[in-house]
Amino acid sequence: MINRTYTIAFNFRFDHSNLTIPLTADIEEHHSDTYYIIKNFRTPSQKERSILPDVRIKKVKGMWVHCDSGKETTLSMEVGDAIDKYEARHAAD
């Protein structure tokens, strides 16, 4: 069951590199066993085509991991951090 949807912005840093790309993505929060579907990854000026496939992540013991593998990646950490910041800003809403 989808609880809410919103858009986040974050900087994606490539593994073992100083190269970062600003991205936005749409978030769907699901509450049955709280997890998030991240979709429509795009640069801020891009509106239509996602540059990455959809990703499902969840927070386990303070770490943002992929639902399928249970592993943390740079992408899951960056997106998870943006989700945490969004939720902290909107906690009083």
Kindly report, residue by residue over 16-63, the tens digit of the pLDDT.
Answer: 778 899 999 999 999 878 899 999 999 988 877 899 999 999 999 999
44 lies in which domain range? 2-89
Count of C-beta atoms within a 10 Å radius of residue 17: 8
Q: Count of domains in the chain?
A: 1
| Matching residue, tokens 């959809």 | 54
pLDDT value for 32: 74
Residues 40, 79 contacting (CB under 8 angstroms): no
Q: What are phi and psi of 3, to 5 degrees?
A: -90, -45
d(CA 52, CA 26): 12
pTM above 0.85, yes or no: yes
Q: How confident is the model at residue 73 (pLDDT cuts 50, 70, 90)?
A: very high
